[in-house]
Amino acid sequence: MSAQPVNPNLPPDHVTVFIDGVELAAPKGSMIIQAADKAGIPIPRFCYHDKLAIAANCRMCLVDSEMGGRPSPKPIPACATPVADGMKVFTRNDKALKAQRNVMEFLLINHPLDCPICDQGGECELQDLSLGYGRSVSRFQERKRVVADEDLGPLVATEMTRCIQCTRCVRFTAEVAGTYELGGMQRGENLQIGTYDGKPLTTELSGNVIDVCPVGALTNKVFRFRARPWELIAKDSLGYHDAMGSNLFLHARRGDVLRAVPRDNEAVNECWLSDRDRYSHQGLYAPDRALRPQVKDNGEWRDVSWEEALARAAKILRDNAADDLGILVHPATSNEEGALLARFAEGLGTGNLDHRIAQRDLSDAAVAEAFAAPVAEIEKADVVVIVGSQLRHELPLLHQRLRKAWRRGAKLHVVNPVDFEFAFDLASKTIVPPSRIAGALASGELAQALQGAAHAVVLVGAIAENGPHAAAIRQAARAFAQANNAALCRIPQGANALGLARLGVLPATRDAQAMLAQPRGGYLLYGIEPGLDFADQAAAMQALGGAQVVAFSHFACQSTRAVADVILPIGLLPEVDATLTNLDGLEQSAVPGGKLPAEARAGWRVLRALGGDLGLPGFDFTDLAGLRAGIAPRAVSPAASQASAEAGEGLELAVSQAIYRVDAVTRRAEALQAHPLNVGPRIVLHSRDAGVLGVGEGAMAKVSNAVGTATLQVAVDDRVAEGAAWIESGYGATAALGAGRVKVVAA
């Protein structure tokens, strides 16, 4: 064969390959199946997945080939055979089809005939391919193999007799999740996939094994036996439990959301979805969902018409207008609702408007900012410094991007109050109490690690952003990033914190903390669960309890009923048209996937009606298009609050968000609450601190500070910095503590 390329006009890193007579240019080193996929030429496969390492163990992609006029002696796997210049590939000739049909026959030898009851029916890759490559009658009469099922936890259901050993799930947990929880045991016809220890899956990305499974071996336990795929209507939606803004489809039947599946977007979530976004839809149908407008008379709640509820709400807002009114907004509120709330504040003459309800230290007037390095570029970084973040729980899919960076050779460094678990090795870790994080960034040790870095990133997370030392840490992180030519990426504290900041949902007078420390006569709460969503729950409940409160609420929970005078039921993101702005500054849209429950209404409609009743300017639009046409970013410089003081003596509190209790919806998703990552309220101490205090593992301790008192179970773990105590927020028991140092004594 001539050494000259078939097509000399191609770039030097490309070759010419002919697939079924179609001439294609493909990168050197790429596989036949990749070239065929790019050209739209179908090749059957089971084990191949373009996000996973090549295994070549199903052999379904066998094709025929010819090189230099010489045919290959036997079929070759398209997924594991690199292209070569001048190669001819035949995917549909007699040799290829015979090989593919023979493989299919072997795959079906032991496969059970339970398609009518299999949840994968209708979207099963084996079912689809067997129609084209399978025989109508099996030639095998032997007894089929049966494999015992394994309990993988509350999220993933198993029927391992259906497994065809493609190992996609094994490769996913090993390569993407980094937890190595699944593997193949035994050999030959006895091979079976499972966990080695029989324990549930603990990865925060476990639901993705359902998507990669080509058969019905791994299915969605929450969705199991609920509906058939052809009964479902898919609607574009977004994850709204963190600032990633993962793209997803909501699958609904007759208006009820039954499941969520990922929607491909390489710039955001690729083809993956965190378990938090996948299973939170259960919370939409909680028993305490706000279904009808309600008002409180003499301490008693009663259902009323929308007209009466809006009239009562309008009276409260009129009676407490101007500086006597505070407007507190959940940071997952949509851009449309945020724009109207900013108009509300302006029309009612109040500068007390804020969405930063979980942040304690706003003395630097900090607001959410778009990442200096887009998420898709972070995986290409060569050095990353993580500051004050349990990143694996805070942003699971950003953590997964960092694992990809680490696998490419990136060095990752951490400054944290707890030595949290990551799915990658750390080049260095600095574990110090929260008050010393800023000082650790200012020291020269980390700067040396960034020397010579071509693409460095500094990530600042929730522990830093929401703690009492946030302003100092932000200042130190910014100075550190500038001095070392690194991209500063501060994680927005809320699914739409960046969008709300751009739209001016910010204080001109008092921020969220000041509004509660200096109680107002009236409050408008939007999408907030008062007992768990604030930075300082005690101050919040006290301030709200002594005021008149209008609550735009998704849930008529106990804490809302305790403080509100009017409850106006509004829809959640899966039920309404909305836009959110993610951490890259990308504005993304969602459409309704499920129906609004009972008499609940889209939030923007309720705001429009109430604004009209109050006669406020900017509420004369008639539809969503008219609302969106009038939305424009607002340049607002938020008022800076007084620097927070860390009250009390004792151990410094390091507070991270419990992964499945970040908001009202996830707290009500039963499957997520049953997950092993949901460990419950507790306080975690270093062994030396526990010894000094005289408390041991499993003991009950009384934990108190200037804010409140809690009785918590003690866990002893040397991953916690000495002088610090770690708790998770989102629980009623830990909410009582707020910020500041705590005293711990045996209960």
Are 79 and 27 within one domain? yes
Partnered with residue 486 across adjacent β-strands are 456
> What is the pLDDT, as a whole number, of residue 8?
73
Residues in the chain: 747
Helix (H), strand (E), coil (C) string for 202-217 = CCCCCCHHHHHCCCCC
Residue 26 — φ and ψ, nearest 5°?
-135, 145
The enclosing H or E element of 727 equals: strand 724-729
| Count of the separate structural domains present in the chain | 5
> What is the pLDDT, as a whole number, of residue 707?
80
Are 394 and 472 within one domain? yes
Partnered with residue 375 across adjacent β-strands are none
The mean pLDDT value for 30-53 works out to 95
Q: Express each pLDDT in 234-264 by its tens digit.
A: 999 999 999 999 999 999 999 999 999 999 9
Partnered with residue 87 across adjacent β-strands are 17
pLDDT band at 643 (very low <50, low <70, confident <90, very high): low
Q: What is the distance between the alpha carbons of residues 552 and 540, in angstroms, rounded to a whole number?
A: 16
Detail the DSSP E strand segments found in 330-469.
353-354, 383-387, 411-416, 428-431, 456-460
Average pLDDT of the chain is 93
> What is the pLDDT, as a whole number, of residue 141?
86
**Among 461, 423, 465, 428, which Cα is nearest to 445's?**
428
Are 451 and 334 within one domain? no
β-pairing, 566-569 with 578-581?
Answer: unpaired
The mean pLDDT value for 425-454 works out to 91
79-88, 172-181, 316-325, 630-639: which has the minimum mean pLDDT? 630-639
pLDDT band at 1 (very low <50, low <70, confident <90, very high): very low
pTM across the whole model: 0.94
- The number of beta carbons lying within 10 Å of the beta carbon of residue 50 is 11
CATH of the domain at 700: 2.40.40.20
- Asked whether residue 138 is domain-assigned, the answer is no
Are 453 and 480 within one domain? yes
17: tokens are: 């390959």
- The number of beta carbons lying within 10 Å of the beta carbon of residue 232 is 22
Are 545 and 659 within one domain? no
> What is the pLDDT, as a whole number, of residue 644?
63
Q: What is the distance between the alpha carbons of residues 386 and 428, in angstroms, rounded to a whole number?
A: 11
Angle at 117 between CA 139 and CA 196, to 5 degrees: 85
- Asked whether residue 128 is domain-assigned, the answer is no
- Residue 596 pLDDT more than 70? yes
Q: Express each pLDDT in 372-382 by its tens digit.
A: 999 999 999 99
pLDDT band at 316 (very low <50, low <70, confident <90, very high): very high
Q: Express each pLDDT in 211-223 by its tens digit.
A: 999 999 999 999 9
Are 501 and 598 within one domain? yes
The mean pLDDT value for 478-498 works out to 95
Contact call for residues 690 and 724 (beta carbons, < 8 A): no
- Asked whether residue 118 is domain-assigned, the answer is no
Partnered with residue 185 across adjacent β-strands are 192
> What is the pLDDT, as a whole number, of residue 6?
73
> What is the pLDDT, as a whole number, of residue 3?
59
> What is the pLDDT, as a whole number, of residue 574?
97
- Asked whether residue 5 is domain-assigned, the answer is no
Are 614 and 544 within one domain? yes
639: tokens are: 């008022």
The mean pLDDT value for 533-556 works out to 94
- Asked whether residue 714 is domain-assigned, the answer is yes
Contact call for residues 179 and 203 (beta carbons, < 8 A): yes
Tokens 């409140």 -> residue:
708
- Asked whether residue 9 is domain-assigned, the answer is no
Q: What is the distance between the alpha carbons of residues 451 and 703, in angstroms, rounded to a whole number?
A: 43
Are 541 and 616 within one domain? yes
Percent of the chain with pLDDT over 90: 87
> What is the pLDDT, as a whole number, of residue 81?
95
- Asked whether residue 137 is domain-assigned, the answer is no
- The number of beta carbons lying within 10 Å of the beta carbon of residue 14 is 18
Contact call for residues 351 and 508 (beta carbons, < 8 A): yes
The mean pLDDT value for 64-82 works out to 93
At 57, is the secondary structure helix, strand, or coil? coil
Partnered with residue 23 across adjacent β-strands are 18
At 193, is the secondary structure helix, strand, or coil? strand
> What is the pLDDT, as a whole number, of residue 590?
97
Tell how far CA 281 is from the center of its chain: 13
> What is the pLDDT, as a whole number, of residue 124?
94
Q: Express each pLDDT in 389-420 by its tens digit.
A: 999 999 999 999 999 999 999 999 999 999 99
The mean pLDDT value for 50-79 works out to 94
* Listed residues 49, 83, 107: the one ending a domain: 107
Are 299 and 259 within one domain? no
CATH of the domain at 327: 3.40.50.740
Could you list the residue range(s) of the whole structural domain that residue 538 is in? 294-363+497-629
The enclosing H or E element of 157 equals: strand 156-158
Long-range contact pairs involving 28-32 (C-beta distance under 8 Å, separation at least 24): 28/82, 28/83, 29/82, 30/82, 30/83, 31/78, 31/79, 31/80, 31/81, 31/82, 31/83, 32/63, 32/65, 32/76, 32/78, 32/79, 32/81, 32/82, 32/83, 32/87, 32/89
At 160, is the secondary structure helix, strand, or coil? helix
CATH of the domain at 38: 3.10.20.740
Are 94 and 209 within one domain? no
Burial of residue 198 (number of CB atoms within 10 Å: 0-12, 13-18, 19+): exposed
- Asked whether residue 619 is domain-assigned, the answer is yes
The conformation of residue 721, written as its DSSP 8-state character, comes to P
CATH of the domain at 250: 3.30.70.20
Percent of the chain with pLDDT over 70: 99
CATH of the domain at 436: 3.40.228.10
The mean pLDDT value for 94-119 works out to 93
Q: Express each pLDDT in 647-691 by its tens digit.
A: 568 899 999 999 999 999 999 999 999 999 999 999 999 999 999
Are 622 and 673 within one domain? no
Are 236 and 325 within one domain? no
The mean pLDDT value for 301-318 works out to 97
DSSP annotation string for 245-311: --EEEEEEETTEEEEEEE--BTTTTBT---HHHHHGGGGGG-TTB--S-EEEETTEEEE--HHHHHH
Q: What is the distance between the alpha carbons of residues 390 and 727, in angstroms, rounded to a whole number?
A: 12
The mean pLDDT value for 154-165 works out to 95
Cβ-proximal residues to 3 (8 Å cutoff; 6+ apart), any chain: none
Q: Which residue has the higher pLDDT, 444 or 13?
A: 13
